[in-house]
Amino acid sequence: MNKFIIQILIILFFNACHRPCNEPDYNFSVTESFFPEQDSINVGDTLFLTSIIPKAETDINTRMIIDFSSLGNLGDNLVISDISKFNTQRDAADSFSYFNVHGKIYSSQYGAKQLTFEETDSAHFLKVGLIALKKGLYILTVPDIPGVYRTGHVKCGRGNFEILNSNVDKHLYLFENMWGQLSNYDSLHSYCIKVK
């Protein structure tokens, strides 16, 4: 009898460990911005990138507030392109130097800069500085972050983060005067700056 009960307990234990995911994926819309918000800066000036992603986020589809905390190292990319070389060698990450205030900005193997958010009690926070090193026209893009898992929710209830640029004036004319209108996606995610 005891052997039978032990076998049932073992079966129940392993079945509990492999339950299917019943939690849906979530879609969130958050913002980032650059400041100072002006169309040009000088070599040696600093441009700051900031973003705050609250841990209690509203799902775009259901309008429910979801606790999306314990994300570990929430990260993204910052793509910096030289507008004048956009059809050839566009990567311009070396046109700036970088420093961390909250979170991290660091180099990746693909030319884009990697971003990691700092987790606080109520939000995931990013503030990094970009010091202009070279004159030129630049477009800076922070793409969306798909498929983010919470710690302890592996492959269950993923969060897809739409990251929109919230600057009032994104100076997109610096790109569009040379190459034509940006796509809807790029116009929502990009910011342009001239370094003099």
pLDDT value of residue 144: 96
Q: Residue 42 falls within a domain, yes or no?
A: yes
Task: Kindly state whether residue 12 falls inside one of the protein's structural domains.
Answer: no
Q: Residue 75 falls within a domain, yes or no?
A: yes
Does residue 143 lie within any of the structural domains? yes
- Give the tens place of pLDDT for each residue, 131-150: 999 999 999 999 999 988 88
Dist CA 98 CA 128 (whole Å): 7
Pairwise CA distance, residues 113 & 93, whole Å:
7
Q: Positive or negative CA dihedral for 52, 77, 162, 34?
A: positive
CATH of the domain at 77: 2.60.40
pLDDT < 50 positions in the chain: 12, 14, 16
pTM of the model: 0.85
Domain count, the chain: 1
* Structural domain boundaries enclosing 40: 24-195
The reply to whether 113 falls in a domain is yes
Quick one: pLDDT at residue 136?
96
Q: How far is CA 21 from CA 64, 155, 157, in A?
A: 19, 8, 8
Quick check: is 141 in a domain? Answer: yes
Residue 102 burial by Cβ neighbours in a 10 Å radius (0-12, 13-18, 19+): middle
Of 137, 143, 138, 148, nearest to 165 (Cα)?
143
Q: How far apart are the first and last CA of the chain?
A: 84
- Residues forming a β-bridge with 118: 125
- Report, in angstroms and rounded to the nearest whole number, the Rg of the chain calculated over CA atoms: 22
Give a yes or no: residue 156 inside a domain. Answer: yes
Q: Tell me what pLDDT residue 133 has.
A: 98
Question: What is residue 69's predicted lDDT score, i.e. its pLDDT?
Answer: 82
User: What percent of the chain shows pLDDT beyond 90?
Assistant: 66
Please report which residue ranges of the chain form alpha helices under DSSP H. 2-17, 173-179, 184-189
Cα separation, 190 vs 83, whole angstroms: 12
What pLDDT, on the 0 to 100 scale, is given for residue 74?
A: 86
In a domain, 5, yes or no: no
Nearest partner of 77 among 52, 110, 55, judged by Cα:
110
